[in-house]
Structure 1
Amino acid sequence: MILYTTMPQELIFPVENGEYEKQRVIDFNGVSLVVQQTEMNNYQIVRNLSTDPAHYLSSEYSPGQTINFP
């Protein structure tokens, strides 16, 4: 079976240690992001899943940034 996807293998076939249980995919301002919850309603960007090159150049969507998401 061949999977043609931008998702990392760890999200498709989760590992048993629970490291990826804290991560989720959200749509923030029209940009798909993998985020990890740090505090209540605060998320840290882990990965940018957008196909638009302009989203990668914007520091707002770069990994490590903290965003507020309801």
Structure 2
Amino acid sequence: MIYYAVVPMELAFFDESQTPLEEVEIEGVPMLVRKHNEREKTIVRLLSADPAHYLDPRFQPGLRISL
């Protein structure tokens, strides 16, 4: 099935059982993260307008980070 929408996939297929997303800024890069515990989060989506941030392997969606 192909689904075309102007809204982000996270909003179109919202599942209330998932942890809510939190907007944070890490090293100057704004992103949405999913919180696992107080120290660990998973990057869900980058919100940056700078294309170089999307090429940086430190900010790949799905990457688990410690704060």
Same topology, TM > 0.5: yes
Equivalent residue for 2:57, pick from 56, 59, 69: 59
Equivalent residue for 1:46, pick from 40, 44, 47: 44
Between the two proteins, the alignment pairs up a number of residues equal to 59
Q: Is the 8 A contact 2:31 2:48 kept in 1?
A: yes
- Stretches of structure 2 lacking an aligned partner (at least 5 in a row): 1-6
Residues 27 and 66 from structure 1, CA distance in 2 versus in 1: closer, same or farther, beyond 3 angstroms?
same
- Stretches of structure 1 lacking an aligned partner (at least 5 in a row): 1-6
Deviations 1:12-57 (A, max 9, x none): xxx5x52565211001110001000123310000001111111000
- The normalised TM-score by structure 2 is 0.70
Post-superposition, which runs of at least 4 consecutive aligned residues in structure 1 deviate over 4 A? Answer: none
Task: Indicate the RMSD between aligned Cα atoms, in angstroms.
Answer: 2.2
Q: How does 1:1-70 map to 2 (within 5 A)?
A: 8=8, 10=11, 18-19=16-17, 21-69=19-67
